Amino acid sequence: MKLSLIQITVGSNPEKNFEKTKYFLNEALKNNPDFILLPECFLFISNSIKLHFSMDHEYLRYFQEFSKINKTFLLLGSLPIEENNNIFNRSILINDKGEISSFYDKIHMFDVNLKNNETYRESDTYKSGSKLKYMNIFDYKIGHSICFDLRFPKLYRDLAKKGCKAIVVPSAFTYTTGKAHWHTLLKARAIENGVFIIAPNQWGTNEDKRSTYGHSMIVNPWGEIVAEAPDEEMVLNCDINFDIVEGIQNSIPVLSYDRDFN
């Protein structure tokens, strides 16, 4: 499967971010990808402003038409979606026919107090999701997750046990936490489950002085980084072969040995 991961710097101006996203989507098409992935909060991120979209917003319709015309799967890393008077941090898959074929509401809210006085309270804006979700692309199961979910290995183990060959992690990982933990966590989730981890991340410092770590990457089931983005806005291209997953999972059968403890 040919992947294109988009790594961009995102601020609080949705229209500006939309135009940037369109540019990088067209750059991604030069690789003739099967699957394009955008990072978490790719149209809007802010520590102070609140904004939300509906599932029939004109931006979503544009992305649906893009996927249909170009016959490519597209992961909208996450958007603030309003539904039933709640706002969810929602990741959306659009298939190659332009249809919304799956979505996932982020389960674990990024509510943290870091040593350098950085404070984030995602639960002030979003309602937590409650359901594991996976998508189907070319008959392969690929698990959904978003950013802070990465620190909760049970979610990834459960998706792997459901037969997912890969798990996506669209992110806006902060520079502080990313520098310390990003590589380690992505490799751990791949190794402990024997799956591909596909992680498009935001990069850079935006106009609101919010800094994200970048280093979008793909990690194979053996824990090897097969592609990693440098420190810039760009499209990271990579081909992966899902056929290796079964062999690695059979050689170290952690999924079949897995136990629940009371």
Which whole-number Å values give the CA distances from 225 to 165, 179, 220, 222, in the listed order?
16, 16, 6, 9
97 catalytic, yes or no? Answer: no
Residue 227 contacts residue 237 (beta carbons within 8 Å): yes
Rounded Cα–Cα distance for residues 49 and 41 (Å): 13
Q: For the chain, what is the largest distance between any 2 Cα atoms, rounded to a whole number of angstroms?
A: 51
85/88 Cα distance (integer angstroms):
10
Catalytic residue among 20, 41, 147, 187: 147
CA distance readout (Å), 132 to 71, 93, 127, 144: 27, 14, 15, 7
Choose the catalytic residue: 20, 40, 164, 233. Answer: 40
Q: Which of 20, 41, 106, 187 does the annotation list as catalytic?
A: 106
Q: Would you call 41 a catalytic residue per the annotation?
A: no
Active site (catalytic) residues: 40, 106, 147
